Amino acid sequence: MAMQAIPVDVGQLGLVLCAVAPAVKVDRETGKPRTDAEGRQVWTVGLMVTQADGQRASVISVSVPGEPVGLVAGQPVEVAGLVAQQWEMNGRRGLSFRADAITAPGGGGKGR
């Protein structure tokens, strides 16, 4: 089954905060940092997102190429190019998220 990236309209979300500061994504088998197709190191950021009505919140782990510098837990963030992707492995299924960039409002914290 081919995995299809599904674009997420972040404009339909309410609050988006950094819940867990950026960390390098590590390959579980090799223990080495992961890289994307262009050779950029992949980082993971925990984001707390609320629905526009503010009634529900979720924490999602989002992969992003390049270090999103200057992000700290509790800080509002902007997310560009967010997509969701279904995965299946060893009888388990889930949903993963990746973004082109996660930045502080006003452009700070861009990936390198």
pLDDT tens-digit series, residues 12-44: 899 999 999 999 999 989 999 999 999 999 999
Residue 62, pLDDT score: 97
pLDDT in tens, 45-59: 999 999 888 889 999
Structure tokens at 59: 């924490």
Say which residues have a Cβ less than 8 Å from residue 55's Cβ, sequence separation at least 6: none
Record the pTM.
Answer: 0.86
> Which residue spans within the chain are E strands per DSSP?
5-7, 13-24, 42-51, 57-65, 78-80, 83-89, 92-98, 101-103
Beta partners for residue 61, in sequence order: 46
Residue 93, Cα to own-chain centre: how many angstroms?
18
Report the SS3 class of residue 23.
strand
How many other CB atoms are found less than 10 A from the CB of residue 30?
8
Per-residue pLDDT band at 111 (split at 50, 70, 90): very low
Once rounded to an integer, what is the mean pLDDT over residues 69-93?
93
Residue found by looking up tokens 């992949």 in the block: 42
Distance in angstroms (rounded) separating the CA atoms of residues 26 and 85: 19
Average model confidence (pLDDT) for the chain? 89
Residue 51, pLDDT score: 87
Selected residue with higher pLDDT from 40 and 4? 40
Q: Tell me the chain's radius of gyration from C-alpha atoms.
A: 14
